[in-house]
């Protein structure tokens, strides 16, 4: 037996904690469930015993008794892209702060069958609610077909998903970037867009187009990329050959990075000849050559807002409606300036 009365070679159980602390099994349970009906001195004794024994509560057993697993599910897709990965990190941090565990189900495709299978895997783990990172058009249709007995919140799906959720105000961010370039004196702004299947790319293109139309400026042909630096590089090779191009808005910072490389290799000055704006404000953006003017979006805040919306539904027992928009911020650095005469 060890100091707390637990047999050697086995994990301590709640009865061992109670024995070491000199309290009842029920008192230990109240402390673990953060009940206010426990004296502070008693609570400290129980917590001290838990630390001494390195006791780990059996969450499955607790769920059977309380009907609360304190676990939330997240459906994500297999990607290394900065945005979704940062969202997932924000969700995990917010869940920990709210006292919840997170179980993740990753899918290769956000199609209907894959989405439902992921949802079923999470429900089998007794999750109390599910967050779905849903940035693509296909995910919106899949979400409409999902059957779930627990609250579901969509994150990053714009205003198109028919369920509560949180999204970055991509259109407002694109508007701010485009308006800033026009205010600098550029006659128009070219756009390197993200994939057409991505809701973020659609909203950013809409914001860019709307500002040019409202200003009576020419709306150039869109160059569509795949979010990668290579796509931006290829777009830059096309744009540098046109002497009329003086300003470019890229739908993300990685494509802006590739564009900057192509312009440098072609001898085009930045911002002397061409001004460039990105979107995301990835950690490396201020270290580009030159430092990149970009639209900052807080992926961590997006994850937190989605998590808070889900937890509110779980704990208050109602299904919310509507969507939360997370604001963006234009960060001006050295890649933009007035057009050359």
pLDDT digits (tens, 9 = 90+) for 111-152: 667 888 888 888 888 889 999 887 887 777 777 777 777 888
Coil, strand, or helix at residue 177?
helix
What pLDDT does 64 receive? 45
Asked if the model's pLDDT at residue 39 lies above 80, the reply is: yes
How many other C-beta atoms can be found within 10 angstroms of the C-beta atom of residue 255?
A: 30
CATH superfamily of 14-57: lambda repressor-like DNA-binding domains (1.10.260.40)
Q: What is the pLDDT of residues 56-95, one digit of tens each?
A: 765 545 554 445 678 899 988 756 778 778 888 888 888 8
Q: What is the pLDDT of residues 263-322, one digit of tens each?
A: 999 999 999 999 999 999 999 999 999 999 999 998 888 888 888 889 888 888 777 677
Element (H, E) at 192: strand 190-193
Q: Which residue has the higher pLDDT, 191 or 156?
A: 191
Question: Alpha-carbon distance 326 to 6, whole Å?
Answer: 50
CATH of domain 170-297: 3.40.50.2300
Question: Alpha-carbon distance 28 to 141, whole Å?
Answer: 47
Whether the domain at 14-57 and the domain at 170-297 fall into the same CATH topology: no
217 phi/psi in degrees, rounded to 5: -90, 160
Domain boundaries, given as residue ranges, for the chain: 14-57, 70-166+299-326, 170-297
Please count the helices (runs of H) and the strands (runs of E) in the chain.
12, 12
CATH superfamily of 70-166+299-326: Response regulator (3.40.50.2300)
């Amino acid at each position: 037996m060890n100091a707390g009365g637990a047999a050697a070679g086995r994990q301590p159980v709640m009865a061992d904690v109670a024995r070491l602390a000199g309290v009842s099994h029920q008192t230990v349970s109240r402390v673990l469930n953060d009940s206010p009906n426990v004296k502070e001195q008693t609570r400290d004794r129980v917590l001290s015993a838990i630390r001494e024994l390195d006791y780990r509560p059996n969450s499955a057993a607790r769920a059977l008794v309380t009907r609360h697993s304190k676990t939330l599910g997240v459906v994500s897709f297999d990607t290394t892209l900065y945005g979704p990965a940062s969202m997932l990190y924000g969700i995990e941090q917010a869940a920990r702060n709210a006292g919840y565990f997170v179980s993740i189900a990753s899918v290769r495709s956000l199609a209907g069958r894959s989405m439902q299978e992921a949802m079923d895997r999470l429900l089998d783990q007794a999750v109390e609610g599910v967050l779905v990172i849903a940035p693509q058009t296909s995910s919106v249709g899949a979400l409409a077909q999902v059957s779930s007995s627990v609250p579901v919140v969509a994150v990053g799906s714009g205003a198109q998903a028919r369920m509560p959720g949180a999204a970055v105000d991509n259109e407002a961010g694109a508007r701010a970037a485009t308006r800033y370039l026009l205010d600098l004196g550029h006659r128009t702004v070219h756009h390197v867009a993200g994939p057409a299947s991505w809701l973020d790319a659609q909203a950013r293109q809409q914001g860019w187009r709307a500002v040019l139309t409202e200003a009576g400026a020419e709306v150039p042909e869109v160059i569509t990329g795949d979010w990668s630096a290579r796509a931006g590089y290829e777009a830059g090779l096309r744009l540098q050959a046109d002497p009329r191009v003086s300003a470019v808005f890229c739908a993300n910072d990685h494509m802006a990075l590739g564009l900057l490389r192509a312009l440098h290799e072609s001898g085009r000055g930045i911002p002397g000849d061409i001004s460039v704006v990105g979107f995301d404000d990835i950690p490396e953006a201020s270290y580009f050559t030159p430092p990149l003017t970009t639209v900052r979006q807080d992926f961590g805040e997006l994850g937190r807002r989605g998590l808070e919306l889900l937890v509110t539904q779980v704990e208050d027992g109602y299904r919310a409606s509507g969507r939360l928009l997370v604001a963006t911020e234009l960060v001006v650095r050295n890649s933009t300036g007035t057009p050359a005469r």
